[in-house]
Chains A and B, each alone.
Chain A
Amino acid sequence: MSDLRDLYQEVILDHGKRPRNFRHPADANREAKGDNPLCGDKVTIYLKLSDKGLIEDLAFEGRGCAISTASASMMTEILKGKTEAEAEALFGAFHRMCTTDDEPTVSATLQDDFDRLQVMSGVRHYPMRVKCATLAWHTMKAALEGADQPVQTE
């Protein structure tokens, strides 16, 4: 096992304790619920998507561990102002980063954002915690796609 500090980096602890965009925007036009039945983690993602496919606002509510809360919090910061396509590109790269030993690449315009997400990469050494990190992202994707079924990881 790698050092615990690889998993619980300061940035993660900070977002876990003081999550950003932890609210329910009144003007959200998409939302999806995610649920990790094994852990009892629950998250609701709220999106305000413009006609042109731009994420104008992104927020979340829910309860979960430090990893899932931090992941949701960082995601909301990073995806605000992104297009739907950019959000999906980052989702794909983030998912690969958490679940494989690959070093996924993203387009140059998204590189800074993806670099910020690298603090979550420690979860790949903790298979039982991967779903904590990816729950918010799966739920965001469901909200983008307008899915009406709640997302369940595992």
Chain B
Amino acid sequence: MNVQSNRKAEPLLRNAYDVAAVRRDFPILSTKVNGKPLVFLDSGASAQKPRQVIDTVREVYEKGYANIHRGVYYLSQHATERFEAVRGTVARFIGAGSPDEIVFTRNATEAVNLVAQSYGRTFFKEGDEVVVSEMEHHANIVPWQILATQIGIKVKVAPIDDYGELILEAYEKLLGPRTRLVAITHCSNVLGTVTPAAEIVRLAHAKEIPVLLDGAQAVVHAKVDVRALDADFYVFTGHKLYGPSGTGVLYGKKAILKKMPPYQGGGDMIGHVSFAGTTFREPPYRFEAGTPAIAEVIGLGAAIDYVEGIGRERIGEWEHELRDYATARLSEIPGLTIYGKARNKAAILSFSLDCAHPHDIGTILDADGIAIRAGHHCAEPLMDRLGVPATARASFAMYNTMDDADALVASLVKVREMFA
């Protein structure tokens, strides 16, 4: 087998994406794991953080930290201003009409749960239906199943084809008189499939059904414009976007958020509290009970600034090059199957080897300093659809290189030597 790189020579003059410079911004990438330079191919689970984010969080704690929205003193006002400024940054980042449409949550999962428990529990009735797809993350399945046990809604599942693309005709047929919401991923965390979100929304809106898009993977890889998509809800998480963990975002159209009751009760979300009755603040504050992840949200702002500074189009182009190169190289390995051949696909490659279980693959690769994900990727129904118990997954990010793909292939060749 040819294990030599067949990489094309880099053009000398190309308004080149300077991946070496990007890598220098991520301190962890120069560390070693098991004595080997780290090859991090699990950004789909959580991305590493650039120095700009790390420095921002540290600087908040060292110089600018206090609780927000309450103090009359300088530090609290300053922290509040910085925290609230990120709402504007996020709104601009996803094309929202107003910062008031941005609700901070702990992660994308909490954002889906918020919609299920506030919007769903209020406006859905027994027998109503929520349409998801076969390639959802558990985060966009289980909240609806919990709602089903609470109020008797039904979860309908739009199928995918063997390429890993949503079957739009089948999806459209599921949109019926009892459908109250479509909740579908914008990019599969297993297959990398980028779904035709605008078309998904258009078909649902034709029947006056609102749409929630799970953008946890999508916002990382491409420019997202929630108004152009006309999404009613859009959720994503900060930690996959090179930001701190503990930060998530729910975008909701203002008119819909205004109709929704609180999700959790507590401080910061109330107008007035008395034992006779309590009033609630307007969105988005109504949905943000308790002290939020203050420094982390400010860090998320730094992450977005960092990504926008490099440019999502350029990051996307680089990741597509990585995807194509890694796909070609992986395809050289006998007995290797790649899952997901969507026409529009992010740099997420799920695969299996005929001779080794994904966990054995993961352990052998780890010894070479290569971090991949092995398992069901929080998408067990999709594993059932693919007919496999688990897959290995290499997910590429803005800081990965062709060398990373080569290291992956070389290590997989070792796996074959051991197990085949």
Question: Which residues of A are in contact with B by a Cβ distance under 8 Å?
Answer: 1, 4, 7-8, 13, 16-17, 38-42, 63-67, 126, 128-129, 132
Contact = CB atoms under 8 A, between A and B. Distances in A.
B34 interface: yes
Nearest to A64: B357
Contact of B367 (A1, A64, A67): A1
Interface stretch (B99-107, B229-237, B358-366): B358-366
B356 interface: yes
Contact of A65 (B357, B367, B376, B380): B357
Given A1-B367, A39-B375, A129-B363, A66 B419 contact: yes
A128 B358 CA distance: 13
A38 B375 contact: yes
Contact of A41 (B356, B367, B383, B389): B389
A58 B334 CA distance: 36
A8 B359 contact: no
21 contacts: A1-B34, A1-B367, A4-B367, A7-B363, A13-B418, A39-B374, A39-B375, A39-B390, A40-B375, A40-B376, A40-B390, A42-B389, A63-B389, A64-B357, A65-B356, A65-B360, A66-B357, A66-B419, A67-B360, A126-B363, A132-B359
B377 to A, nearest CB: 10
A39 B376 CA distance: 7
Contacts of B418: 4, 8, 13
A66 B367 contact: no
Closest 8 CB pairs of A and B: A40-B389, A65-B357, A40-B390, A65-B359, A1-B34, A66-B360, A65-B360, A4-B367
Interface string B357-395: 111100110110000001110001001000001100000
A38 B418 CA distance: 24
Contacts of B390: 39-40
A41 B363 CA distance: 15
Contacts of B359: 39, 41, 65, 67, 129, 132
Max chain B Cβ within 10 angstroms of own Cβ: one of A4, A42, A132: A4
A36 B58 CA distance: 39
A40 B363 CA distance: 16
Interface in B345-365: 356-360, 363-364
Contact of A13 (B366, B389, B419): B419
Contacts of B360: 8, 65-67
A4 B389 contact: no
Contacts of B363: 4, 7, 126, 128-129
